[in-house]
Amino acid sequence: MISDIRLQHFRSYSDATFEFTPAVNIIVGPNASGKTNLLESILVTARGSSYRVKDSELVEHDQPWARLDSHIDGDVRTIKIVNEPLPSKTYEIEGRSYRRLLATKTLPVVVFEPNHLFMLSGSPDLRRSYLDDLLEQIDPAYGRLRKDYRRVLTQRNTLLKRLGDQAASQIFPWNVRLSELGGGMTQARLALLDQLNQSASELYSSLSHKQTEVSLRYETKLPVDNYASALLRSLEANFHLDVARGFTGSGPHREDISVLISGRTSQTTASRGEARTAVLMLKVMELRFIMEARGIRPLLLLDDVFSELDGGRRKALTSYLQEYQTFITTTDADVVIQHFMDQCTIIPLG
């Protein structure tokens, strides 16, 4: 639990301090009042970085540094981001200094923003990110695997663009390494999907108040039983095609996840209500899986998402928030407060 935070030269804040309740914290203010920036400071404090921007962009305009000071479960935590004279970032936790935030020192976080409501109908990258971000929070080894895959993929793509067909003599080691890493990622994704499928129907039915069969399916053109070998063959066979398009066309970075509702692929057939219920289902499962894996209740950050849900889905989401320290941004407090009565703290901005 995070009990307070001080922001110095962070985003739009020159110097501001906020105190939080262990339950629901509602951050209220007009657009451009700093609501999302405050939410982002909590995310950076918990996980060490932002998913939205580079570290350098977290520093207030025309300032050389930013600093976040907070108390998490009674312990002092400080993050310093320096742009000048040389870029750097340091963490101080319980009096000890770190150059990078180890997975064991992070605090699990679930973020829910309006863009996530288009997870089913939007780009496959949204669905891949859901799986990969969840895996990274419940298994530190997956974070390293994902990072290594991205690095090798970037190097292979650079080779394709720089040398073209002449890359043929150099690319085999990169194909082998990418296949090994891709195989590891795919097996981890499949194992997580199996776990999610065990509770998907029950949770969706609870949220929709209607008995419904729901499942998640991994979409790949390669056989999953020997994925690494199949990916290596695909990379070799499609080398000239990859050269022509300038990027690697096979691998976990190109695959997708389908959500099936009553046996139909929701990306194309789900109604608006069904799609939003499915997204709520995924977010609630994210909370549960992280808590089970880490033994720590994750922070829940809801960035202006309540206004995008109808009354029934607001109520359904609210019923799952009681166990977690929650931060909700909104321009209209009345939309949110009615669901929490006296169990919330209001943080006005602007």
Q: Within this chain, do residues 255 and 277 fall inside the same structural domain, yes or no? A: yes
- pLDDT per residue over 18-28, tens digit each? 999 999 999 99
* Cα–Cα distance measured from residue 83 to residue 50, given in angstroms and rounded to the nearest whole number: 16
In a domain, residue 27? The reply is yes
Whether the per-residue pLDDT at 45 is higher than 90: the answer is: yes
Name the range with the highest mean pLDDT among 45-59, 188-202, 329-343: 188-202
Q: Within this chain, do residues 135 and 283 fall inside the same structural domain, yes or no? A: yes
Q: Please name which of 162, 337, 114, 156 lies closest in space to residue 251, comparing C-alpha atoms.
A: 156
Total domains present in the chain: 2
Distances (CA, A) of 237 to 29, 171, 322, 324: 55, 13, 53, 49
In the prediction, which pLDDT does 192 show?
97
In the prediction, which pLDDT does 100 show?
85
In a domain, residue 41? The reply is yes
Q: Within this chain, do residues 76 and 145 fall inside the same structural domain, yes or no? A: no
Q: Within this chain, do residues 265 and 125 fall inside the same structural domain, yes or no? A: yes
Look at residue 229 and give its three-state secondary structure: helix
**DSSP string of 167-210?**
GGGT-HHHHHHHHHHHHHHHHHHHHHHHHHHHHHHHHHHHHHTS
Position 11, amino acid:
R
CATH number at residue 24: 3.40.50.300
Whether the per-residue pLDDT at 252 is higher than 90: the answer is: yes
CATH number at residue 291: 1.20.1050.90
- pLDDT per residue over 85-127, tens digit each? 889 999 999 888 998 888 888 899 999 998 998 999 899 999 9
Q: Within this chain, do residues 163 and 263 fall inside the same structural domain, yes or no? A: yes
CA 83 to chain CA mean position, Å: 25
In a domain, residue 140? The reply is yes
Instruction: Pick 151 or 316 by higher pLDDT.
Output: 151
Q: What is the mean pLDDT of residues 4-29?
A: 96
Show which of 295, 319, 340 is a domain's final residue.
Answer: 295
* Cα–Cα distance measured from residue 349 to residue 32, given in angstroms and rounded to the nearest whole number: 10
In a domain, residue 273? The reply is yes
Block residue for tokens 């019923």:
319
pLDDT band at 220 (very low <50, low <70, confident <90, very high): very high
Q: Within this chain, do residues 98 and 137 fall inside the same structural domain, yes or no? A: no
In a domain, residue 240? The reply is yes
Q: Compute, in degrees rounded to 10, the torsion defined by CA atoms 231, 234, 240, 245.
A: -60
Whether the per-residue pLDDT at 178 is higher than 90: the answer is: yes
In the prediction, which pLDDT does 337 show?
82
Is residue 16 within 8 Å of 313, Cβ to Cβ?
Answer: no
Q: What is the mean pLDDT of residues 124-142?
A: 94
**DSSP string of 272-290?**
HHHHHHHHHHHHHHHHHHH
Question: pTM for the whole thing?
Answer: 0.90
In a domain, residue 112? The reply is no
Percent of the chain exceeding pLDDT 70 equals: 99
**DSSP string of 64-106?**
SEEEEEEEETTEEEEEEEE-SSS-EEEEEETTEEESS--GGG-
Please give the mean pLDDT across all residues of the chain: 93
Segment among 189-193, 261-265, 333-337 with least mean pLDDT: 333-337
Segment among 24-28, 73-77, 164-168, 333-337 with least mean pLDDT: 333-337
- pLDDT per residue over 266-296, tens digit each? 888 889 889 999 999 999 999 999 999 999 9
In a domain, residue 170? The reply is yes
In the prediction, which pLDDT does 341 show?
67
Q: Within this chain, do residues 84 and 124 fall inside the same structural domain, yes or no? A: no
pLDDT band at 322 (very low <50, low <70, confident <90, very high): confident
Segment among 65-69, 181-185, 204-208, 263-267 with least mean pLDDT: 263-267
Q: Within this chain, do residues 181 and 270 fall inside the same structural domain, yes or no? A: yes
Q: Within this chain, do residues 73 and 157 fall inside the same structural domain, yes or no? A: no
Block residue for tokens 């923003």:
113
Q: Within this chain, do residues 150 and 273 fall inside the same structural domain, yes or no? A: yes
Show which of 254, 276, 295 is a domain's final residue.
Answer: 295
In the prediction, which pLDDT does 15 show?
98
Show which of 295, 325, 341 is a domain's final residue.
Answer: 295
Position 15, amino acid:
D
Residues in contact with 62: Cβ distance below 8 Å, sequence separation at least 6, in sequence order: none
Q: Within this chain, do residues 194 and 260 fall inside the same structural domain, yes or no? A: yes
In the prediction, which pLDDT does 70 show?
97
Q: What is the mean pLDDT of residues 324-342?
A: 86
Look at residue 257 and give its three-state secondary structure: strand
> Which range of residues forms the domain containing residue 38?
1-107+301-350
In the prediction, which pLDDT does 136 show?
92
In a domain, residue 141? The reply is yes
Q: Within this chain, do residues 136 and 281 fall inside the same structural domain, yes or no? A: yes
Whether the per-residue pLDDT at 309 is higher than 90: the answer is: no
